[in-house]
Amino acid sequence: MKPFAYVRATSVAEAARLLGAGSAAMAGGTDLLGLMKGGIAAPARVVDLTGIDGLRGWSRERGAGLRIGALTPLVDLETSDQLARHLPIVRAALADTATLQLRNAGTVGGNLLQRNRCWYFRDEAIPCWLKGGTRCFASEGENEHHAVIGTARGCNRVAPSDLAPALIAHDARVTLVGARGTRSIALADLYTDPALHSRDEHTIKRGEILTEVHVPEAGLQRRGTYLKAMERKTWSFAVVSVAAAARVRDGKLRNPRIVLGGVAPVPWRVEAAEAEIDGHPFSDELARRAADALLADAAPLAKNGYKVPLAKELVRRALAAIAAA
Amino acid sequence: MKDERGRTRVVRTRNEFEGEVMEQLALVQDEDAEAWPEGAQLGIVGRAHRRVEGAAKVTGRARYTHDVRLPGMLHARILRSPHPRARVRHVDPSRALALPGVRAVLHRFNTPKTAFRGEETIFREEVRFVGDEVAAVAADTEETADAALDLIVVDYEVLPHVVDLEEAIDDAAPRIDEKGNVHDADRHERGDVKKAFASADVVVEGTYRTSTQLHNCLETHGAVAAWDGDQLTVYESTQHVFGVRQGLHAALHLPLGKIRVLCDHMGGGFGSKGGIGKYTVIAALFARELGAPVRCVLDRREENVAAGNRSATLQRVKIAGKDGRITAIAHDSWSNVGQARWVADPTGPTKGLYDVPSILAHAHRVVTNTGSLAAFRAPGYVEGTFALESAIDELADGMGVDPLALRRHHAEGAIDPVSKMRYSLKRLVDCYDIGAAEIGWSRRKRGGLRGSAPGLRRGLGMASQLWSGGGTPPAYATVHLNPDGTAVVRIGTQDIGTGTRTVLAQVCAEELGIDVRDVRVEIGDTDSTYAPISAGSLTVASITPAVRLAAKDAREQLLDVAAGVLEVGRSELRVEGGALVSRGGRTPIAKVFEDLDNYTVIGRGSRSPNPDDLVLKTFGAHFAEVEVDRTTGAVLVERVVAVHDVGRIVNPLTARSQVEGGVIQALGFALSEERVVDKPTGRVLTRSLETYKVPTVRDVPRIVVRFVDVPDTAANNVGAKGLGEPPIIPAAAAVANAVANALGVRIRHLPLTRRRVLDALAAAS
């Protein structure tokens, strides 16, 4: 690990000012530490955000949706029965996220902004495209964990977060605060596609801090579920995960969302797939059609073709679970 | 008081280590005790006893090699090759040496000749895998040493390489060894295989693959070395303190008497810590040069590239059946040994497990530019049992017979088909009976059973286990009595986490007639008497007989003393519960010694040779029940029933723990553990415990442990045999057979990941 300066910010404004070039923001540090020890990140300055007040905890105001502070430890969300009543998908998504130790240290903001787990990206000796190199080593290499869809250019990484698909399925937005002001974007738009030639994984800008997640009232009206396939029973990133949510009435799923993790460089959503089921009497056949539509453009690599039937099956099950609940 | 016991004679003995049988010379130094017979009324041996060091471990007091911190200690880190194959042309350490806190740099141009595993140096001219040692830095802190590694400039001439087993076999691959990449290893032939295949009713052929498994000892490999004048002391996380001493003797040309090796507590080895590592030599060289203790321990990433592994294998098995029996097996195997000079032969079970008339077994060693294999808990046997037992199930399917019934025809023989000698004891059929009843084998149906939900299939599978485990001389112990009636067992063995301390305390207490709490076991020190490596399932069978004899010797001397002090006839006295008991009453041992001050009774014992006309083996059988999700590829192992025939069980609690650990490690091998290497760069991609998937506690099924528990009284005076390796041998094969039963599709490649299951189902439909 390279030597670095450490500063503990006490306000968002101070942190924003400190987060210039060569600086890295740290909340729980569970991802940053691994990146630094692995030689992937070498910030000259680490700006610790944990001294900032007011970014912890969550609140629900009738008519105004649900707000979750970015510094809230994952374990607080997971263990809150009250939150589980308002937004049960969070507990479902966190149940198999990392280990209890990591959920204790890790925060909501950090989870949404974590970097991908591609084993070529995480090897400091591999000059892959995402790290400024010329090509993806996985495309012709050991790619059983890599993306099957949405990889038009350069990078076959997959979105690793469990929380991101779950929150996107409920139309979550995030607040980003920087020296030049505050903006609110859809959580889905926090993730950026290699097809856009961007060698970033997130659209957050230098000097910006993710301060809050907001789930609007409409999102809270949906019933949601999260399913995750791993290579062992727990303590693993998803091979494939699916978050699904919809308003359910009279055997129909309305305004549904289906978001996949582990299959694409970003949390994967296709509106046409959701339209397949929106407002129609739910059936297994319909669920299968939605799953097919969601993965219609899949172009698996040599070793990850299995993810396509696996993702379709999880989508089918998730939709059936919502419809039956 | 001494009788004529002192006379020593030389005999021949048959010893077996990790599948290799050796005729060796042995000394008979003590008259052996009669083995405790079957049904003997023992008060301590055979009863569950918690680990004597358990509290020290769970409270953090137990000191491991990683915990050793000596005054003025320096830290060494190793620079490893980034290339799978390259010639080291030049090393420039000047920038590293200029970094404040850096004390020295070792590399191939400034390091004295240090013999290491058949080579003359620890820093090769040609580095042969990513992670091969190129140089080392000693510094005031580990962080400084680490930072200095980046400052060493090495000029490499990159050479063509190959890392994949099947590519290395291919003629088109770069020849990375002057004698070629593929080397003949063991070959065994009996009967007439050709004829048997020609006249068979059914012949089944399959190609099986297993993946490279990494040990991932919780405590990574490492050593701390310190010199006091010309006396070297090394703390090492090892399965064999005497082996480390021997390795240092060879590498540094030091007299054995000038080397002391210590290992108090140890965080796992699984075969990979059988001797010195290059880190040991590096620590010792730096410590000598710099006049300060030096610590060199590997980090997790190094552990997973350079500390050994279980070879990936490619195995072809052809098996013939006629009239409801197996008539012939041909088994060819190729193992990716990395740069090792030996191979863990996967065909051992094929040769010896079943009494099959015609066998042709041929093992090959394939060298590649990857880290070398190290013995890994039943090396070869785990891989080979998967192929053999899968093939037998495939044959049973082809013949339309029950796979367990088919095995029974070949499991009863009292003669070892390889050596043609009689087994000392064999209760394999008992294992089948116990296991079949426990799992409910009669429910098994060809094509599997319906699962608990739509899309789920349920299956049953089983496999058998053969291993050695008879132990070996030499091993020596002393037991001395303190005047308060407590005893100290001293023996140069080590407890690698299996509970060795506890079983030694039990055997001593049983024989001596005192409480287990009054026995202290001092191990892990080459200044004690010799004991063999804690590997090959030979610890208990090698050292408990010596400890028993030492305790017996101490007890007999104690009786002599007590007879004199108490003025009671010796034959009327016995030792029981820490007291001398006669018709006249009980006298605590401490009372006997009250007026004797510090006169000390010292018992000594040595391990007697193995019988020369019998073969000592362990047997067992595992039965697995699984549920497989055809749509998600998930394999759920619900239950494993593990039955073993390993002679007397000294401590049912630690024995059960051994079996559970073996089954869990086998499940990792069967379902999730796989080293992945990038072929173009030769880099191991699964260096962390994130990507290399060992089972978590949630992956552990119900494990039902049963023992035949009949003492092998011909084997040694305790009647116990080894249990370290048996439980890892058949579990993966049993699970694979259960999965094949559930799905009706055979997957011949471990581990059975979702990918392999879904791909196989897609290919089958």
pLDDT in tens, B196-206: 999 999 999 99
- The answer to whether B633 faces chain A, any CB pair under 8 Å, is yes
A115-127 burial: b if 16+ Cβ within 10 Å, else e: bbbbbbbbbeebe
- Asked if B216 has any chain A CB less than 8 Å from its own CB, the reply is no
Structure tokens at B426: 């064999």
Mark whether B503 and B378 lie in a shared domain: no
**Residue B23 pLDDT:** 83
Give a yes or no: residue B213 inside a domain: no
pLDDT at B5 over 70: no
Distance of alpha carbon B279 from alpha carbon B220, whole angstroms: 11
Distance from CA of B751 to the nearest CA of A (A): 11
**Distance in angstroms (rounded) separating the CA atoms of residues B700 and B19:** 29
| Closest to B305 in 3D by CA, of B589, B734, B687, B605 | B687
Structure-block tokens of residue B99: 């970094």
Q: What does the angle CA B434 – CA B437 – CA B438 come to, to the nearest 5 degrees?
A: 80
Identify the domain boundary among B297, B322, B356: B297
Confidence of residue B8 (pLDDT cuts 50, 70, 90): confident
Q: What is the model's pLDDT at position A249?
A: 93
pLDDT (average), residues A148-171:
94
> Is residue A2 a part of any domain in this protein?
no
Selected residue of A102, A306, A307 to mutate for chain B interface (largest B Cβ count, 10 A): A306
- Shortest Cα–Cα distance, B153 to chain A (Å): 16
- The CATH number of the domain where B47 resides is what? 3.30.365.10
How far is the alpha carbon of B690 from chain A, nearest alpha carbon, in Å?
7
Confidence grade of residue B415 (pLDDT, cut at 50, 70, 90): very high
Of A215-219, B20-24, B401-405, B460-464, the poorest mean pLDDT is in: B20-24
Range from A16-25, A253-262, B1-10, B497-506 carrying the lowest mean pLDDT: B1-10
Q: What is the mean pLDDT of chain B?
A: 96
Q: What is the pLDDT of residues B616-626, one digit of tens each?
A: 999 999 999 99
Residues B282 and B153 both lie in one domain: yes
CA separation for the pair B225, B233 (Å, rounded)? 6
Could you list the residue range(s) of the whole structural domain that residue A273 is in?
Answer: 223-324
Q: What are B171-229's pLDDT values in tens digits?
A: 999 999 999 999 999 999 999 999 999 999 999 999 999 999 999 999 999 999 999 99
Distance set, CA B213 to CA A319, B168, B312, B670, B754 (Å): 38, 19, 7, 10, 18
The number of domains in chain A is 1
B225 and B276 belong to one structural domain: yes
Q: Is the pLDDT of residue B2 over 70?
A: no
Prediction ipTM score: 0.97
pLDDT of B16 above 90: no
Say which of A1, A117, A306 has its CB closest to residue B754: A306
Q: Which of B633, B698, B699 sits opposite A310 (nearest CB)?
A: B633
The whole-angstrom separation of Cα B286 and Cα B210 is: 40
The confidence score (pLDDT) of residue B30 equals: 83
- Kindly report which listed range (A75-84, A192-201, B281-290, B681-690) carries the lowest average pLDDT score: A192-201
> Is B419 within the bounds of a domain?
yes
Q: Nearest by CB to A233, which of B146, B683, B698?
A: B698
> Tokens 């008339």 label which residue?
B357
Question: B48 — phi, psi (to 5°)?
Answer: -65, 130
Determine the average pLDDT of the residues in B678-686: 98
Structural domain count of chain B: 3
Q: Is-cis flag, bond preceding B473, omega within 30?
A: no
In whole angstroms, give the CA distance from residue B329 to residue B203.
10
What is the per-residue pLDDT for B9? Answer: 84
Say yes or no to pLDDT of A195 above 80. Answer: no
Predicted TM-score of the model (pTM): 0.97
CA distance B704 to B64: 32
Q: Which of B413, B450, B444 is nearest to B428 (CA)?
A: B413
**Residue to substitute from B665, B678, B752, interface A, most A β-carbons within 10 A:** B678
Looking at the fold, whether B140 and B277 belong to one and the same domain comes out as yes
Distance CA B684, CA B677 (A): 4
The predicted-structure confidence for A51-92, as pLDDT tens digits, reads as follows 999 999 999 998 999 999 999 999 999 999 999 999 999 999
Task: Report yes or no on B193 lying in a domain.
Answer: no
pLDDT band of residue B28 (cuts 50, 70, 90) is confident
B93 upstream amide cis, omega within 30 of 0: no
| Average confidence (pLDDT) over B62-89 | 98
Which of B659, B652, B650, B658 shows the shortest CA–CA distance to B545?
B650
Place of tokens 């091993």: B475
pLDDT band at B25 (very low <50, low <70, confident <90, very high): confident
The residue out of B270, B297, B324 marking a domain boundary is B297
Is residue A237 within 8 A of residue A111, CB to CB? The reply is no
Type of residue numbered B256: L
CATH number at residue A228: 3.30.390.50
pLDDT tops 80 at residue B93: yes
Chain B residues lying within 8 Å of A239, measured CB to CB: 754
Q: Give a three-class secondary structure readout of B344-385.
A: CCCCHHHHHCCCCCEEEEEEEEEECCCCCCCCCCCCCHHHHH
pLDDT surpasses 90 at B424: yes
Task: Provide the residue range defining the domain that includes B455.
Answer: 312-470+613-764
Given a contact cutoff of 8 angstroms between Cβ atoms, the answer to whether B270 and B245 are in contact is no
Q: Which of A117, A126, A306 lies closest to B633 in CB terms?
A: A306
Contact A11, A55 (CB under 8 A): no
B758 interfaces chain A, CB cutoff of 8 Å: yes
Of A120, A233, A239, the CB nearest to B754: A239
A contacts of B685 (beta carbons < 8 Å): 119-120, 123, 142
Q: CA Rg, chain A, in Å? A: 19
Strand locations in B7-101, DSSP E? 9-17, 20-28, 74-80, 86-92
**Please, are residues B309 and B214 in contact by the beta-carbon 8 Å criterion?**
yes
Q: Do B632 and A142 touch (CB under 8 A)?
A: no
Q: Report DSSP state, residue B443.
A: G
CB B611 within 8 A of CB B7: no
Report chain B's terminal Cα–Cα distance, integer Å. Answer: 81
B634:A229 CB<8 A: yes
| Token representation of residue A236 | 């693993």
> Is position B690 within any domain?
yes
Q: What residue in B sits closest to A311 (Cα-Cα)?
A: B632
Residue B634 at interface with chain A, using a CB cutoff of 8 Å: yes
Tens of pLDDT along B358-399? 999 999 999 999 999 999 999 999 999 999 999 999 999 999
pLDDT value at B3 more than 60: no
| Amino acid at site A13 | A
Q: Which of A123, A141, A231 sits opposite B754 (nearest CB)?
A: A231
Q: What is the mean pLDDT of residues A204-228?
A: 97
Asked if A309 lies within 8 A of B762 by C-beta distance, the reply is yes
Please state the length of chain A: 325
What pLDDT band is residue B6 in, cutting at 50, 70 and 90? low
Taking an 8 Å cut-off on Cβ atoms, the answer to whether A232 and B679 are in contact is no
Query: Which of B287, B282, B277 minimizes the C-alpha distance to B229?
Result: B287
Q: What percent of chain B has pLDDT over 70?
A: 99
**DSSP per residue, B640-692:** EEEEEE-B--S-HHHHHHHHHHHHHHHHHHHHT----B-TTT--BS--STTTS
B568, containing H or E segment: none
Judging contacts by C-beta atoms under 8 Å, the chain A residues touching residue B99 are none
DSSP state of B518: G
Q: Does B671 touch chain A (CB under 8 A)?
A: yes
Percent of chain A at pLDDT above 70?
100
Please give the Cα distance from B173 to B163 (Å, whole number). 10
- Other beta carbons less than 10 A from residue B257's beta carbon: 11
Residue A152 in this model has a pLDDT that exceeds 80: no
**Domain ends where: B297, B324, B345?**
B297
My answer on whether B414 and B516 are in the same domain is no
Query: Nearest to residue A133, comparing CAs of A199, A229, A203, A224?
Result: A199
Q: List strands edge to edge, sheet with A181-186.
A: A58-61, A65-69, A209-215, A173-178, A181-186
Q: Give the span between the Cα atoms of A14 and A7, in whole angstroms.
A: 10
Residue B1 in this model has a pLDDT that exceeds 50: no
Question: Would residue B177 count as lying in a domain?
Answer: no
Q: Pairing state of beta strands B422-423 and B614-615?
A: parallel
Residue A246 forms part of a structural domain: yes
Residue A141 CB partners (closer than 8 Å, separation 6+): A120, B678, B679, B680
**Residue A249 falls inside a structural domain:** yes
Look at residue A316 and tell me if it is in a domain. Answer: yes
- Indicate whether B123 and B254 sit together in one domain: yes
Residues B644 and B740 grouped into a single domain: yes
Q: Is residue B367, in this structure, part of any structural domain at all?
A: yes
Same domain, B664 and B753: yes
Chain A residues contacting B via beta carbons under 8 Å:
1, 117, 119-120, 123, 125-126, 137, 141-142, 144, 229, 231-237, 239, 303-306, 309-310, 313-314
Indicate the pLDDT class of residue A153, thresholds 50, 70 and 90: low
Residues B480 and B387 in one domain: no
Q: What is the mean pLDDT of residues B496-523?
A: 98
B705 and B682 belong to one structural domain: yes
> Under an 8 A CB cutoff, do B699 and A232 touch?
yes
Buried b (16+ CB within 10 A) or exposed e, A27-52: bbbbbbebbbebebbebeebbbbeeb
B686/A contact by beta carbon, under 8 A? yes
Q: Do B442 and B564 fall within a single domain?
A: no
My answer on whether B505 and B383 are in the same domain is no
User: What's the average model confidence in pLDDT over B439-458?
Assistant: 96
What average pLDDT score do residues B32-38 get? 97
DSSP annotation of A190 reads G
Number of C-beta neighbours around residue A6 at 10 A: 10
Is A61 within the bounds of a domain? no
Percentage of chain B lying above the pLDDT 90 cut = 95
Taking CB atoms within 8 Å and a gap of at least 24, the contacts of A11-18 are: A11/A52, A12/A52, A12/A55, A12/A177, A12/A209, A12/A211, A13/A179, A15/A47, A15/A49, A15/A52, A15/A209, A16/A177, A16/A178, A16/A179, A16/A207, A16/A208, A16/A209, A17/A179, A17/A207, A18/A45, A18/A47
